[in-house]
Amino acid sequence: MKAVIISVGTELVTGRCVDTNAAWLAGQLVHLGISPIRNVTVGDEVEAIKSAIELALAESDVVCVSGGLGPTPDDLSRHALAEAIGQSLIEDADTLSQLEAFFDALERPMPESNKRQALVPRGCHVIPNPRGTAPGIHFRGPGAQLFALPGVPAEMKATFETYVRDLLADTRRTVCPGSARLLCYGVSEAWIGEVLADLMTVESNPTVGITASEAVIAVHVHATARDKAEAEVLVDSAAAEIRARLGHACFGIGSDTLQLAVVRLLCKRRLTIATAESCTGGLLAACMSDEPGSSAYFMRGYVVYANTAKSDLLGIPHAMLEGHGAVSEPVANEMALRCREKAGVDLAVSITGIAGPGGGDPPRKPVGLVFVGLAHDTGVIVKRVLLGSHLTRGEIRDRACKTALNLVRLHLLDVVV
């Protein structure tokens, strides 16, 4: 079964608001085994809403419209629906008395304009709204059915959950979906695309797709089957194959974060950690204290932004700072070593780099050059990365933290880095 989602609102089409309803509705439909094929956003105009509805009814089995059911003159979804299906609007007596009861309960007079909300195209059903005054409308056409829902997210969700979901769940499902998301760091999207190329053909089941966000690459697996168990088997076996191909590049699933992957490994081995940061200025410490209960493994952080802080707090020799520069392999090495010693922890991570936009001295020390150090029980590892001057200061700081977290993760997995 295919679905089209229509979002109505001039505030959406002009970009004053980000539309979150469409993604929520799409997720719900996918969960019910229905495939959203398109989302269309139009302004508060009868013609635009009407033609979006006509096209959607012709091309899909389920149409969800959100917005345009309020009491003000710019709420036009019910009029557009009436025109699209060639029916007139009639006043629904039950709805009118429910609206009156709603205002009575709040001890407020009902504004005249709310009466519009009792208008429904002939032959349609009213969907009760447990969270507000805008009732939804259910149209059952010969080929497709349409649900017009309120635009306020809480009301849209409430009307969907109390009426639409059960109704769609009762529809005989032809397909049952399953999905998984595998998260990777430290490899390129292109590399993953090459490694998984044979799995990424459009017609396959499961389908495999790749997205990237803030240098974390997600591999999405989506399967459809006749029942949930079968869908799960399809997803699980594809995910296992993908995980095997990606190896240690894959750090988690679902909404995991790199810090969570590190935390799990630290807790498993009962290890403690401390941080010493220059260019990231506390971001790595903030990552390490992100999870509840972090006092079990995260002890302290040195934010040694100024060179005097590096020598005062960690005892980095002045001669080393002057000779090699603060952004150098020896300084990263020394920061990690001294931090581990002073904090009395199992692992110490250091970061020193040039976050930019100024301060670079190419080609030897360009913006985006970062050294990450990790002191452990038998030595120190220092990793040099060029994060690229095309990134913003914020992105370089973020990637520097992620590089450090990934170094700790790979070390704890005994991967040679």
Task: Name residues contacting its own copies, limited to 137-176 (CB under 8 A).
Answer: 152, 154
Rounded least distance, CB 258 to its own copies, Å: 16
Rg of the chain in Å (alpha carbons): 28
Binding mask 117-136 for its own copies (x = CB under 8 A): -------------xxx----
Q: Is the peptide bond before 363 cis (omega within 30 degrees of 0)?
A: yes
Q: Which of 284, 336, 349, 372 binds its own copies (CB under 8 A)?
A: 284
Which residue's entry shows tokens 């692992």?
Answer: 347
Residues 332-371 that bind its own copies (CB under 8 A): 343, 355-358
Residue 348: strand pairing partners: 274, 375
122 or 214: whose CB is closer to its own copies?
A: 214
Binding mask 204-233 for its own copies (x = CB under 8 A): ---x-xxxxx------x-x-----------
Residues 26-55 that bind its own copies (CB under 8 A): 26-30, 35-45, 48, 52
User: How much of the chain is in helix, strand and coil states, percent to nearest 5?
Assistant: 45, 25, 30
- Stretch of residues binding its own copies (CB under 8 A), selected from 25-33, 83-91, 224-232, 234-242: 25-33
Burial 222-232 (b: 16+ CB within 10 A, else e): bbbbeeeeebb
146 or 283: whose CB is closer to its own copies?
A: 283
The verdict on 194 binding its own copies (CB under 8 A) reads yes
Non-local (6+) Cβ contacts of 396 within 8 A are 279, 353, 354, 355, 356, 367, 368, 370, 387
- The residue among 178, 181, 193 whose CA lies nearest residue 219 is 181
Rounded least distance, CB 358 to its own copies, Å: 6
Take residue 296 and report the two structure tokens written for it: 């079990």
Rounded least distance, CB 316 to its own copies, Å: 13
* CA separation for the pair 353, 400 (Å, rounded): 8
- Stretch of residues binding its own copies (CB under 8 A), selected from 83-91, 138-146, 185-193, 247-255: 185-193
- Stretch of residues binding its own copies (CB under 8 A), selected from 195-203, 224-232, 258-266, 373-381: 195-203
